[in-house]
Amino acid sequence: MSTETRRFMRLIVFFDLPMVTKTEKRVYVQFRRFLLNDGYDMIQWSVYGRLLNGNDDQAKHLKRLADNLPPAGSVRCMTVTEKQFAGIRLLVGAPRFQEKTVTASQMLLF
């Protein structure tokens, strides 16, 4: 697949999990670790995102996400194109290190 035909997208996961009991805190930590180990970067508190390479990759990661959902709380996801994601405007604060602009030609796919 040439770089011209690749369709880079971002999968963004929003979650709100209860953290009252020790068990709920453990579930929160396990879910957050899953996201980090699966290649997600923290965009802001309880909002994580990862780069996808096409619809097949999207289906694969949605299934992985569904297989690792916590039993309680709210988890939502949204897929946007790389162009839409690049259009995000930061209104307050400074961009994080992970948010530096990287073009599609600079990405390595394994």
Residue 1 has pLDDT above 60, yes or no: no
Determine what percent of the chain is predicted with pLDDT higher than 90: 66
What is the model's pLDDT at position 105?
Answer: 55
First to last CA, the chain: 13
Residue 72 has pLDDT above 80, yes or no: yes
What residue segments make up the domains of the chain, in order of their start? 8-106
Q: What is the pLDDT of residues 2-46, one digit of tens each?
A: 455 568 999 999 999 999 999 999 999 999 999 999 999 999 999
**Amino acid sitting at position 60:** K
Q: Residue 29 belongs to what H/E stretch?
A: helix 22-37
What is the model's pLDDT at position 50?
Answer: 95
Domain 8-106 annotated CATH 3.40.50.11060: no
d(CA 37, CA 50): 11
Best-predicted range by mean pLDDT among 64-68, 85-89, 104-108? 64-68
* Cβ neighbourhood burial of 1 (10 Å; 0-12, 13-18, 19+): exposed
Residue position matching structure tokens 């899953």: 34
- pLDDT band at 98, cuts 50/70/90? low
Residue 56 has pLDDT above 70, yes or no: yes
